[in-house]
Structure 1
Amino acid sequence: MKLKDRNVLVVGLGKSGFSSALFLKRQGANVIVNDIGDEKSFEREKKVLKENGIDFVFGKHPEEIFLKQDLIVVSPGVPTNREPFLKAHDKGIEIIGELELAYRFISTPIVAITGTNGKTTTTTLLGEILKKEGVNVFVGGNIGIPLVEYAEDDSRDLVVLEVSSFQLETISHFHPYGGVILNITPDHLDRYTSMEEYAEVKMRLFERQETFDFAVLNADDKWIMKYKPAILSDIFLFSVSTVVDKGAYYKNGRIYLVHPSSNQEYVIQEGDIRLKGIHNMENVMAAAISALELGVKFDTIKEVLQNFEGLHHRVEFVEEIEGISFYNDSKGTNVGAVERALAGFNNPVVLILGGRDKGGGYDFLIDQIKRTVKHIIAIGEAKDNIYNDLHNYVTVEKVNSFEDAVYTAFRRAERGDIVLLSPACSSFDMFTSYAERGEKFIEIVRKIKAEVNGKN
């Protein structure tokens, strides 16, 4: 792909947009950056852009700028159904994302992992397994380092990427050697018109694959299996509910890995896996079968699984106070993530739910709520919607602040209960990120513990 002297617009100045702009400039393109946000929020980025001779426009999407470009690179968080994009498309201007841009400069084989939930854990876990095996691997994408920052290096043995639906919207040539999809549950229905549209975007991961590639699919997911017949690559399945002939399955506290080319069935005891919860058994199976297909020894996989602790802000134990256990699942930003978090608990749960609504409602949670939730603390912009959807099944208490939510949850809980922050919503009504929300939860829990200890 030749970029020298081409006019390129980068839309969205998040992490991937910022990296894309600098990469494009180094390739000799004439770059301009556009973000609808307030210019005052980008002082650091503006300084770097100026130093590199990159122009920028903030606060709006000027149509005339879009129509003067040879190429538009859009950040994942920016919807491309806005008028300037549509007019640029009608004019024949190519619109791609950072993932597609980077891919066109990379020859390293790629394993790409997507899914509504679990993709960060699975991507990180597979990366750790490969590193332990001695593979020179780049791990990034939707987590950590944008792929475009690797594009000028392109010297590793393998790339392992977390890929989001937003990134998959703007691919055209992207062709991973390995594709892994963990699940498709309701999410981003404020952006997609239906579950069908969301699922179709997710399954675009496989659209360029051929027979010599491989795919790892969740056999228990109805949406994934609906689109399975269209996949041309070598398919491995994983399941927590049924035995599979090729791939991995969970049964009676064991994970079985069935890999035909190794001509052997491997068994891992659940007790030998540091990650806990049935949702994590799915993540483990997806990572393990991918690793086997990539030539990793079983002993390496088993060793990493014995030591891999999981991720910050994902069903993370924080403290125990007066027999009440507090868990931080701030990364649970959709109902599917909350459902999986709740499935890992048998003790009664006081659930902190809410934030900025993502569409689709909360009915998906009803079965798990009936099983284990004794009380819901509803917060943020979504609290009325949460109340309307769930108050017939459990007591839903609306509160006005995040700190009040944590204190109220503590008061409603009893010895032996779980207090779980798993919001099913984005954090942007109160915080800049799910990470900031999770850190605030930890801070408040520890404040409560100090106050309780001070009384004793």
Structure 2
Amino acid sequence: MDIKDHKFLVVGLARTGVALCRFLVEHGAMVTVTDQAAPDDLADSRRDIRGLGVVEDLGVAQPRWQGFDAIVVSPGVRPELPWLLAARAAGIPVMGELEVAAPFIRRPLLAVSGTNGKTTTTTLLGEMLTASGVKTLVGGNIGAPVVSLLGRQEAADLLVLEVSSFQLDTASNFHPQAAALLNLTPDHLDRYADYDAYIASKASLFRCQGAGDLQVLNADDPAVAGLDRGLSRVYYFSATRPLKTGARLNHAALKVRLADRREEIFPLSHIRLQGRHNLENIMAALVLALDAGADPKACRDVLATFPGLPHRLEWVADKGGVSFYDDSKGTNVGAVATSLAHFDRPVILIAGGRDKDSDFSLLSGLIAARVKALVLIGETRERLARVWRGLAPAYLADDMASAVARAWELSRPGEVVLLSPACASFDMYRDYAHRGQTFQNLVRELNHAE
């Protein structure tokens, strides 16, 4: 890709946009950045690019795109916006950060995607490799944008990236030498035409792979297991079936066998991270790590201490025999199903937020079986009350404080209050972490008041 002396329009001035501006300027490009947010709302990001010579075109929904050599969109920007379609029709390439980074990647690349569990698996993989003495850079959809890692790759052995479907949609030349697809459930259907289109987006993780590359696939997920294997090597992982190679749950241990290697055993009693869904994440991370040369003992040591990540079925507090859990990262139906299935006690479920065109009826069976009461918040609260009518008593709350207070009022010793929204957070919060932290603070105030 020619960058020097070419004109680039960067769309979006959040974390990825700032990193792109820096990278492109460092490589000799003439850069303009646009964002529909007002300049005053972008003060921190504008400060980060000050002195780079980047032209700002802010506070506009449709920027001036004519005359650029390429347009680079941030992951949250819809590629089908009319002005982007017009730019493509005029012959201007429209791409994402992964596409910009791809020609500059000089180290083997391991990638993780899936509807749920990406961040946990990517973080765990990075820690296993690092503990094994493999110099590893971790980033992508988690932490540092890829382009901000490239300047440090000469001192690294591997790159480990979490990648989202939004990133893959604008990265036709992205080529991970090893990649795992953890699971697929309907998500982001406000952005994709249908579930098949979403699956195709996720499956494009493997589109540039060839002989010698590796796919790691969930044998228990029909949508994943049914994907075309292509020419790549394939290892499966499974919690329900025997496998000759790959990773499997066998009674009280995870067992991993790669081709021409001895079987490695990882006892569940020595794994700190709990939950069936996390066993799948662990198996995927183990296969990728061991295939990349990680030391099995180092992997065991990491598994013995790795606590999991915030806002993912995170225990917050016990109050009067009631357990409070923060699963704010449960932004889709599949994630909430996994969280509800985790409990064998009655659950008071706090759900709601901004809809992503999800089919909430898919949760009806679990709600009828596991949920004692529903406390519903956000833009979708009335819709959720309609969809789940008759399955459990439903209460509408104006904000998180009211929701926590109502859930506490409804709960009894031995029960669970679970925040698992099945929706995005942007109707009320900056992001899922802000939503989760608000929940945790309110719960701790209840504890303090006891």
TM-score tier (shorter) = over 0.9
The one-character-per-residue Cα deviations of 1:366-417 (angstroms, maximum 9, x if unpaired) are 2322332111111000111211211232222211111100111111111000
- CA distance in structure 1 between the partners assigned to 2:61 and 2:427 by the alignment: 23
Counterparts of 2:365 and 2:277 in 1: how far apart (Å)?
A: 16
Residue of structure 1 in register with 2:242 after alignment: 243
Q: Cα RMSD (Å) of the superposition? A: 1.2
Alpha-carbon contact 2:332-2:358 (below 8 Å) kept: no
What is the deviation of 1:230?
4.2
CA distance in 2, matches of 1:250, 1:363: 30
Number of the residue aligned with 1:138: 137
Once the 2 structures are TM-superposed, how far is the Cα of residue 444 of structure 1 from its aligned partner?
A: 0.4
Letter matched to residue 277 of structure 1: G
The answer to whether the 8 A contact 1:431-1:437 is kept is yes
Figure out how many residues of one structure are paired with residues of the other and give that number. 449
Which residue does the alignment assign to 1:324? 322
1:275/1:48 CA distance change after superposition, 3 Å: closer
TM-score, normalisation: structure 1: 0.96
Hey, what does 1:184 align to over in structure 2?
184
Q: In structure 2, how many angstroms separate the alpha carbons of the residues matched to 1:326 and 1:181?
A: 31
Partner of residue 305, structure 2: 307
Pair 1:13 & 2:20 matched: no
Matches of 1:245 and 1:230, distance apart in 2: 17
Amino acid at match of 2:148: E
The residue type equivalent to 1:278 in the other structure is: R
For 1:399 and 1:27, how far apart are their aligned partners in 2? 51
Partner amino acid, structure 1, of 2:172: S
- Post-superposition shift, 1:338? 1.0
CA distance in 1, matches of 2:48, 2:271: 44
Q: 1:61–1:84: 8 Å Cα contact kept in structure 2? A: no
| Worse-superposed segment, 393-402 or 203-212 | 393-402
Q: For residue 215 of structure 1, give the secondary structure of its aligned residue in structure 2.
A: strand
**1 CA distance for matches of 2:115 and 2:55?**
36
> Which secondary structure does the structure 2 equivalent of 1:66 belong to?
coil
Judge conservation of contact 1:103–1:151 (CA < 8 Å) in 2: no
Is the aligned partner of 1:95 residue 2:94?
A: yes
CA distance in 2, matches of 1:294, 1:163: 19
Partner of 2:290 in structure 1?
Answer: 292
TM-superposition CA deviations, 1:158-189 (whole Å, max 9, x none)? 00000000000001111001110100111111
Identity among equivalent positions (%) equals 42
Match of 1:393 among 391, 400, 404: 391
Query: Residues of 1 paired with 2:414 and 2:264: CA distance?
Result: 37
Confirm or deny: 8 A CA contact 1:257 1:266 kept in the other structure.
Answer: yes
Counterpart for residue 269 of structure 1? 267
CA offset digits 1:286-323 (Å, max 9, x no partner): 00111111121221211111111000111111111000
Distance 2:257 2:361 in 1: 36
2:45 corresponds to: 45
Separation in 2 of the partners of 1:367 and 1:180? Answer: 30
Residue deviations 1:10-47 (CA, integer Å, cap 9, x gap): 00111111110111011111100011112211112223
Instruction: Tell me the amino acid that sits aligned with residue 365 of structure 2.
Output: D
**SS of match in other structure, 1:260:** coil
Structure 2 stretches lacking a partner, 5+ long? none
Q: Per the alignment, do residues 230 and 298 of structure 1 end up closer, same or farther by CA in structure 2, a change over 3 Å counting?
A: closer
Structure 1 residue 424 displacement after superposition:
1.0
- 1:437 alignment partner, SS class: helix
Alignment check: 8 A CA contact 2:121 2:284 kept: yes
Tell me which of 402, 413, 417 is aligned to 1:419: 417
TM-score where L is the length of structure 2: 0.97
Q: Which residue of 1 aligns with 2:28?
A: 28
**Cα drift, residue 207 of structure 1:** 0.4
| Conservation of the 8 A alpha-carbon contact between 2:14 and 2:45 | no
1:194 has 2:230 as partner: no
Give the partner amino acid of 1:247: G
TM superposition shift of 1:260: 1.9
Residue 2 of structure 1 pairs with residue 18 of structure 2: no
CA shift digits 1:41-99 (9 cap, x unpaired): 11122234342110111222445x21211011100000011111111111111111011
Structure 2 CA distance for aligned equivalents of residues 62 and 176 of structure 1: 34
Secondary structure, counterpart of 2:171 in structure 1 = coil
The 1-side partners of 2:334 and 2:62 are apart by 37
